[in-house]
Copies of this chain bind each other. A is one copy, B any other.
Amino acid sequence: MKADFAKFKTEIDSACFSEDPINNTLHSYDATNEFHLPAGVVRPRNEFDLQQIIRSANANFIPLVPRGAGTGFSGGALPLNKGGKLCSPSVVIDFLGMNKILELDEDDMVAKVQPGLVTFQFQEYVEQKGFFYPPDPASLKTCTLGGNVAENAGGPRCLKYGLTRDYVLAIDGFTGDGKPFHVGKGVLKNRSGYDLRHILIGSEGTLGVFSSILLKLRPKPEDRILFIAFFDDFNEATGMVNTLLHKGIQPSSMEFMDEFSVRAVERHGKFGLPLNYQALLLIEADGRSDEIPFLKRRIEDSLKVSAKEIRIAIEHYEQEAFWDIRRKTSPALRAFGNKKANEDISVPRKSIPAVIRGLREIADKNRINLINFGHIGDGNIHVNIMYDGKNPDDQFRVNLALTNIASLVNEVHGAISGEHGVGTVKKRFLPGNVDSVSYDLMRAIKKDFDPNGILNPGKMLY
């Protein structure tokens, strides 16, 4: 198992390969704000290039790091030096050369795309044709569909429409030893053997590299309505989820911001938000145009029982202004520190109030800036810790807090990540969050797909 970088270079098409230091720098980071210089960058133009690259990397023990747009929060796209057990610098696979829509089948409502396609570009394209691709991670304007599948990306609309997982019908690609797989088919039900598709989705580039993805589409909803409501008591905001579901309302999104998020975003953007409440709830519902008045009445009636202030956006431009408040939350936090730890915990809905209290205690104990917002409808809380990354004392207290948060999550039987994945950032917490038999099975499956361990080494599993 001796890496042979020189041999790798002679075996792949030189037109796909670059060792240019500037290009290497451009592929050295992701949204964790960490930097690891790769040994080089390959840019396959098609699946033949891709297979050649993977086969040669496998034969010469060169770690490969598939990269979409580097918008991930868990370190999935970081080209770790001396990746894993291979003790060799990594080569990044850049998918910019494979970013096409290969097919849109309007009858079957499916589209085949290459992994480098930007999510938003795809969404705009299909919406022009009357279709809808719901997954909406915050980074949708830059992130890629390949990255979305590798991370099983979520977003606010997942409450009603499901995660990226729920839209992937088939994946073509290669295992770590360069064998081509064609997993899944363009059908809505498929019981042909074990469902390998779902193992590849969310595998963070550690099991296979994708060459094309077949996605399911929906018809575009006709209309939508948006509410912002303010609550004195966090329990009442959480309770609203079940209240609405039991009234036959399936909101497309149910987002919350804690009082610190509201203050941060108000300072950042002057939205005219009241600052004296414990929680802000943003509720969007969509559907046929004929049902919007009924949705409006039922949601409004429900909110009136416990919300202290309610605002409603009917027109599209008003709705965009409301969404802007939520979208600006993450940038607004930058004022509180040059570094952000993005926890992304997922807990049973009924434990949200207790978890929010627990998080507050952890923040106080460790003297950190901790701000919560996220997807209250599915119990997915984005816990943001803002700090000075250059201050070792700050870093130490943040690390302690992260350990405390992982314990809190385990206490309520939650998951350490709801959307962002494990990568490098949550790798140390995974063994405590899953049972040891499952962990060993994951390691065995990794070996099945990638016997030499060249795919994204050092991520997710030890």
Contact B192 A163 (CB under 8 A): no
Contact B438 A448 (CB under 8 A): no
Contact B430 A189 (CB under 8 A): no
- How many angstroms from the CA of A419 to the CA of B380 in the assembled complex? 31
Q: Which of A9-17, A63-71, A342-350, A359-367 contacts B (4 or more CB under 8 A)?
A: A342-350
Contacts of A301 in B (CB 8 A): none
Report which of B188, B344, B413 forms a contact with A379, defined as CB distance below 8 A: B188
Contacts of A97 in B (CB 8 A): none
Report which of B110, B194, B437 forms a contact with A179, defined as CB distance below 8 A: B437
- How many angstroms from the CA of A435 to the CA of B416 in the assembled complex? 35
Give the Cβ gap from A383 to chain B, nearest Cβ, in Å: 14
Residues in A346-393 with C-beta less than 8 Å from chain B: 346-350, 375, 378-380
Contacts of A26 in B (CB 8 A): none
Contacts of A347 in B (CB 8 A): 187
Q: Which of A197, A287, A438 has the most CB of B within 10 A?
A: A438
A251 within 8 A of B: no
Give the Cβ gap from A166 to chain B, nearest Cβ, in Å: 8
Contacts of A108 in B (CB 8 A): 348-350
Contact A193 B430 (CB under 8 A): yes
A: interface residue count bin = 35 or more
Report which of B190, B193, B287, B298 forms a contact with A439, defined as CB distance below 8 A: B193
Q: Which of A180, A189, A249, A434 has the most CB of B within 10 A?
A: A189
Against B, the Cβ 8 Å flags (1 = close, 0 = not) of A406-418 are 0000000111111
Q: Which of chain B's residues has its CB closest to A217's CB?
A: B245
Q: How many copies of the shown chain assemble into the complex? A: 2
Contact B182 A438 (CB under 8 A): yes
Known: A198-B199, A348-B108, A435-B180. A219 touches B192 (CB 8 A): no
Report which of B197, B202, B247 forms a contact with A194, defined as CB distance below 8 A: B202
Contacts of A158 in B (CB 8 A): 189
Report which of B249, B418, B438, B449 forms a contact with A193, defined as CB distance below 8 A: B438
Report which of B420, B437, B445 forms a contact with A180, defined as CB distance below 8 A: B437
Contact A442 B194 (CB under 8 A): yes
Residues in A279-312 with C-beta less than 8 Å from chain B: 287-291, 294, 298
A268 within 8 A of B: no
- How many angstroms from the CA of A180 to the CA of B460 in the assembled complex? 22
- How many angstroms from the CA of A29 to the CA of B28 in the assembled complex? 59
Contact B442 A445 (CB under 8 A): no
Contact A196 B413 (CB under 8 A): no
Against B, the Cβ 8 Å flags (1 = close, 0 = not) of A27-63 are 0000000000000000000000000000000000000
Q: Which of chain B's residues has its CB closest to A221's CB?
A: B248
Contact A191 B421 (CB under 8 A): yes
Contacts of A416 in B (CB 8 A): 192
A82 within 8 A of B: no
Q: Which of A197, A449, A461 has the most CB of B within 10 A?
A: A449
A140 within 8 A of B: no
Against B, the Cβ 8 Å flags (1 = close, 0 = not) of A115-154 are 0000000000000001000000000000000000001101
Against B, the Cβ 8 Å flags (1 = close, 0 = not) of A217-228 are 011011000000
Beyond A108-B348, A219-B248, A441-B449, list 9 extra A-B contacts (CB 8 Å).
A109-B242, A181-B437, A187-B414, A190-B417, A191-B202, A191-B417, A195-B199, A290-B298, A291-B291
Q: Top 7 nearest A-B pairs by Cβ distance? A: A198-B198, A189-B418, A248-B288, A107-B350, A188-B378, A444-B448, A191-B417
